[in-house]
Amino acid sequence: MIRVLLVDDQELVRAGLRALLGNDAGIEVAGEAPDGRRAVTEACRLCPDVVLMDLRMPDVDGLEATAAITAQLPGTRVLVLTTFDEPGEIDAAVRAGAAGYLLKDTGADELRRAVHTVAAGGNLLSPTVARHLMDRLAAEDPPPAPDPRLAGLTERERQVLARVGLGETNQEIAAALFISPATARTYVSRLLARLRARDRTQLAVIALRGGIVPR
């Protein structure tokens, strides 16, 4: 059972998330918090598997709370769920230790899959967030130098890396490339080792910077 802490300053949003996640027998909403300060307190008390974190909240915001939770509770994963897709906030959330970044227009099934993904140790960016990150990296001046680590990848590895760069889960990669989820997971693990990437988020950045993701 995946235990989740909901963090959002709007009670109606928390109620909606509780209802959505309650439809998954593998997820239990362990608690709620209306701001970042309470989020840290409740996370330390409950030790949830996943914290579903809003960013813009009164008092202590989601970025500060994310940094505090990931520093104090290395076994707890933070999944950002926000309305805002500004590049600065995406970068700041990743630096704070967030395992994923989703927008609030994410579908119910996708949200539940995301909770399972980060609870299992995965990292993800929603396709919209990945696209914004790709556009920003493409506009860098000067453009980034080619990554020599990409030269030795097989065609299939490049295809999988491209899907990671789009923020897709192993299940979505498997469906897109007509392979099994287990095979997709094996490819992602191999890419993490070959590219010396810390997690899926770093893999996505490598894919975006290397021009692997199709525009």
Same domain membership, residue 28 and residue 108: yes
Write the DSSP symbol of residue 94.
H
**What is the rounded CA–CA span in Å between residue 140 and residue 21?**
39
Residue that the structure tokens 């007509």 belong to: 178
Q: What is the pLDDT of residues 11-37, one digit of tens each?
A: 999 999 999 999 899 999 999 999 999
Q: Which domain, by its residues, includes 61? A: 2-122
Torsional class of 109: left (φ above 0), alpha (ψ -120 to 50), beta (otherwise): alpha
Same domain membership, residue 148 and residue 118: no
Q: How many domains does the chain have?
A: 2
Same domain membership, residue 179 and residue 84: no
Q: State the pairing for strand pair 100-103/77-82.
A: parallel
| Tens-level pLDDT at each residue, the chain (215 residues) | 999 999 999 999 999 999 999 989 999 999 999 999 999 999 999 999 999 999 999 888 999 999 999 999 989 999 999 887 777 788 788 888 898 889 888 889 989 989 998 898 777 777 777 666 666 666 665 555 667 888 889 999 999 999 888 778 788 899 999 999 999 999 999 998 899 887 777 787 788 778 787 65
Would 138 be classed as within a structural domain? no
Would 133 be classed as within a structural domain? no
What type of residue is 106?
Answer: T
Same domain membership, residue 149 and residue 60: no
pTM of the model: 0.71
Same domain membership, residue 118 and residue 203: no
Would 42 be classed as within a structural domain? yes
Would 127 be classed as within a structural domain? no
Same domain membership, residue 198 and residue 112: no
Same domain membership, residue 152 and residue 85: no
* Three-state DSSP class for residue 166: coil
